[in-house]
Amino acid sequence: MNLRDDARALSDDLIRMRHDLHRTPEVGLDLPRTQERVLAALDGLPLEISTGEGLSSVTAVLRGARPGGPTVLLRGDMDALPVAERTGLPYAAEGDLMHACGHDLHTTMLAGSARLLATHRDRLAGDVVFMFQPGEEGWDGAGHMLAEGVLDASGTRPVAAYALHVSSSIHASGVFATRTGPLLAASNVLDVTVRGAGGHGSAPHRAKDPIPAACEMVTALQTWLSRAFDVFDPVVLTVGSFHAGTLPNIIPDTARFTATVRSFSPEAFERLREGLPAVCRGVAAAHGLEVDAEFIEQYPTTVNDAAEADFIAETVREVHGEERYEPMENPILGAEDFSRVIAEVPGAMAFLGATLPDRDPETAPSNHSPLAAFDDAVLADGSALYAELAVRRLEAEAVTA
Ligand SMILES: [Zn+2]
């Protein structure tokens, strides 16, 4: 079986599906039109399909030729972003939403792999679970699908789980990249409200001004980060919102800021969880103010299983050629809820460069930009890689079992 050639024969269909999804982006956990489009793409294939209860997910199970065989899970996320597209492409979305992170490509490639594997199911040494997931962009869609039982969809826990993520910059079109160990950071939020007592701007001694204390917290947090953490275990904190007051001569009652907090190791996570609110409480106490400082957990670190990441690299090299694989020296500080899946079962995620051929990967607009654009040419090879990973991993498992 040559999945790569079969996938290329599907290319026109894949491009059509992707453009259709791209024109009608949906955000969050409820993506009714996207779900409909996925169900239409899977229609007629020999799949056991179920849809989510609390979210518009699609879980499809393909039974291989050997009953009772192992299971591999393939995941593609489906949600868009609240970004107004400015690419000027003929299939650009109108309105305030955009597939600026390329999840329309993931959805399409996963559907493509289902079609490829259905054609070759007689050669599958086990079952494949296709996980079409809404709500990756901060909605914890993966967590919801895990709670609804996606890992038990085939009746046996997956021996491995894989996901691809396209990139509109950094990697040239068609280049796959991954690494063993941490691939993406843990992403959490610090939410701080400093409580003072408002008054007239001319008489601060009669009020309790929350603004200087909140400003001090912002700098104290950065200083603390630089003193309390091993430099070889990176942490990043960015205060992305800061709000207080209305007019120059009014001292407000409260000041509020929120920060995104990125880290990798469990030790750093624990120290941040305890330490960040403690720094804010200490500064507030020095000013005689109250503070609510809450550390809100979002996504854990995405840690690739070493053997599964090596297996992706080896599969890319064998199927698509040596030059199509690029090892990543460092992780990146973005985050993913696929982290939850591969915290439960062994697995790995890889990036797939989709920079437009006429753009420089170094300077091309990145994912989440209103100008981000993705090369359709990767759809066939991405579909083929998903399919190859399932075929080869099931075969390997069957041989060792
Ligand atoms: Zn994404």
324-382 pLDDT per residue, tens: 999 999 999 999 999 999 999 999 999 999 999 999 999 999 999 999 999 999 999 99
pLDDT at residue 307 in the model: 98
* DSSP collapsed to 3 states, 279-341: HHHHHHHHCCCEEEEEEEEEECCEEECHHHHHHHHHHHHHHHCHHHEEECCCCECCCCCHHHH
Start-to-end CA span in the chain (Å): 23
* Predicted confidence band of residue 299 (pLDDT cuts 50, 70, 90): very high
**What is the arithmetic mean of pLDDT over 14-39?**
98
pLDDT at residue 148 in the model: 98
pLDDT at residue 398 in the model: 80
Ligand 1 centroid–CA 393 distance in Å is 25
User: Tokens 């420089």 map to which residue?
Assistant: 360
pLDDT at residue 401 in the model: 62
Ligand 1 centroid–CA 186 distance in Å is 15
Tokens matching residue 118? 């259905």
Give, to the nearest 10 degrees, the angle between helix 210-228 and helix 266-286: 150
Neighbours of 265 (CB within 10 A): 17
Q: Are 261 and 188 in contact (CB under 8 A)?
A: yes
What values do phi and psi take at 292, rounded to 5? -105, 110
Q: Please say if the pLDDT value at position 120 is more than 80.
A: yes
Cα dihedral: 177, 182, 183, 189 (round 10)? -170
pLDDT at residue 356 in the model: 97
Ligand 1 centroid–CA 288 distance in Å is 43
Ligand 1 centroid–CA 34 distance in Å is 16
Q: Are 201 and 248 in contact (CB under 8 A)?
A: yes
Ligand 1 centroid–CA 244 distance in Å is 32
Ligand 1 centroid–CA 187 distance in Å is 14
Ligand 1 centroid–CA 307 distance in Å is 24
Residues in the chain: 401
* Predicted confidence band of residue 46 (pLDDT cuts 50, 70, 90): very high
pLDDT at residue 270 in the model: 98
Tokens matching residue 279? 């720094």
At 64, which helix (H) or strand (E)? none
Torsion 198-203-208-210 (CA) sign = positive
Q: Which long-range contacts (CB under 8 A, 24 or more apart) does 98-101 make?
A: 98/25, 98/370, 99/21, 99/22, 99/25, 100/367, 100/368, 100/369, 100/370, 100/372, 101/136, 101/137, 101/367, 101/368, 101/372
Residue type, 263: S
Tokens matching residue 292? 């609510």
CA–CA separation, 277 vs 347, rounded Å? 34
* Predicted confidence band of residue 400 (pLDDT cuts 50, 70, 90): confident
Ligand 1 centroid–CA 181 distance in Å is 19
By the CB criterion, residues less than 5 angstroms from ion ligand 1 are 101
Ligand 1 centroid–CA 136 distance in Å is 7
Q: Please say if the pLDDT value at position 117 is more than 90.
A: yes
230-257 pLDDT per residue, tens: 999 999 999 999 999 999 999 999 999 9
Region of residue 163 (left: phi > 0; alpha: psi -120 to 50; beta: else): beta
Average pLDDT, the chain: 97
Ligand 1 centroid–CA 99 distance in Å is 9
Ligand 1 centroid–CA 26 distance in Å is 14
Q: Please say if the pLDDT value at position 33 is more than 70.
A: yes
% the chain with pLDDT above 70: 100
143-167 pLDDT per residue, tens: 999 999 999 999 999 999 999 999 9
Nearest CA among 78, 48, 301, 322 for reference residue 176: 322
pLDDT at residue 1 in the model: 60
Burial call 328-353: b when 16+ CB within 10 Å, e when fewer: beebbbbbbbbbbbbeebbbbbbbbb
